[in-house]
Structure formats: C-alpha cells, structure tokens
Chain A
Amino acid sequence: AQRVTQPEKLLSVFKGAPVELKCNYSYSGSPELFWYVQYSRQRLQLLLRHISRESIKGFTADLNKGETSFHLKKPFAQEEDSAMYYCALFNYGGSQGNLIFGKGTKLSVKP
C-alpha cells in the first residue's frame, strides 16, 4: 500500500543547529516525492520536489530508494523556519493520480 510516514510530530531545535525532518515512504513503483510547508496563517506551499534536486531556503532532500526515505535537512536552522512540514508522495494509481501526505512534523526553532 502507498504510504508516507513522518515519525516525529514535533521537532524542536535551537537557532543555528542542524535540523533533519524524517520521511519514509512505501510505494510499489518509482516514487515522486515532495516536501510542502505550512507557515502559521499561510497557505500550504511547495518547498522541494526530489526530481529538481534543488536547495530552497537552505533546505535539501535526497531520495534514498534503498532506505525508502526522503529526509529534509538544513545545516543551520533559523527562527523563520518554524512551521508545519508535510512530506508527500504522488500516487499514480487510478486515472489521474493524487498526492498522499504524511501526518506532518511541526518544526519549532528557538532563539
């Protein structure tokens, strides 16, 4: 079954510390993965997708097919990174496909 697992509900770090938000997936085909972020009182927005292999706001994420993981990393956390982060998998099942979201990790960066 297609599934996205984010094991941490809450991750709290100090400013300047490294941060890693974990995401594991279960998918029978070739996965297409995303990280979405939801800042307080703002809309859900795309942060990264694995096929772009880019760095946005200092965040990177590498797809590891062997470990079925797509962890989000940033070497030095900033207070403005505090938000809800969702890992999502595109499911090609059915006629058009859809996004499957993990339960989310709330990142809190303390001064």
Chain B
Amino acid sequence: DTEVTQTPKHLVMGMTNKKSLKCEQHMGHRAMYWYKQKAKKPPELMFVYSYEKLSINESVPSRFSPECPNSSLLNLHLHALQPEDSALYLCASSFRTALAKNIQYFGAGTRLSVL
C-alpha cells in the first residue's frame, strides 16, 4: 500500500455538529500532517505529528482537534466550525530518515462544507 487514504471524501456539516476526518497510511511513515487548502490557494499547514506526538501546531483554532492514535492513523476532530472553515483538508505523511524525511505524500483530501 503506497497511498495515504482519507475518509470521508466529502462532508457537509452544520455549525453545531461534531465530526471527524480520518487519515491512514501503511508506508511506515512516522510523520503525519494536516493541511487546509482553500480554492485556488496553496495548502496551509495546520498540524504535524512526529512519532505520534504533536510537534507543530500552527495556531489553529481550538475547534480543530488533532489526534494520532498510532503511527498509521491520524484524525481531525471538528466541533462548532464556522462557514469560513469550508475547504479541502489534506493529510500527508513522510519518513523521518535523513535521506527521505522531507518528501511528503498527500491524500486526496476531504472536501468540507460548513453550513
């Protein structure tokens, strides 16, 4: 398995809902990332997990809560989102070896709409 898999592909939620985005990889990568991508914009880093520990949090609002249950799984819990949070949410993963640690592999994303 050489892919990063994200579910669901699409999600519509109300501002009072609680939902979760899921990401999975079986490439043995030890770093996993969440990005937010608005239309026609580059991806913006939200969180980085390295060896299941949160190592970068780019001052993301607390209504976004990441979780890394193990080295293959990454979740993003959503609560009380705003319409401006509507975007494509991308998960990525990478090795942590000196040679390949900075190559990131991206999932297809979850397209989120907040009503």
Contacts and interface: CB of A to CB of B under 8 A. Distances in A.
A43 B107 contact: yes
Contact of B104 (A42, A46, A94, A102): A46
Interface string B36-57: 0000111101001010000110
What's the interface size class on A, roughly?
20 to 34
Contact of B106 (A45, A49, A103, A104): A45
A97 B48 CA distance: 9
A99 B106 contact: no
B48 A43 contact: no
A95 B106 contact: no
B42 A96 contact: no
Contacts of A98: 33, 45, 48, 56
Interface residues of B, number: 20
B108 interface: yes
The interface centre, meaning the residue of A32, A46, A86, A97 with most chain B CB atoms within 10 A of its CB, is A97
Given A101-B43, A102-B42, A94 B103 contact: no
A99 B50 contact: no
Contacts of B31: 96
A95 B104 contact: no
A103 B41 contact: yes
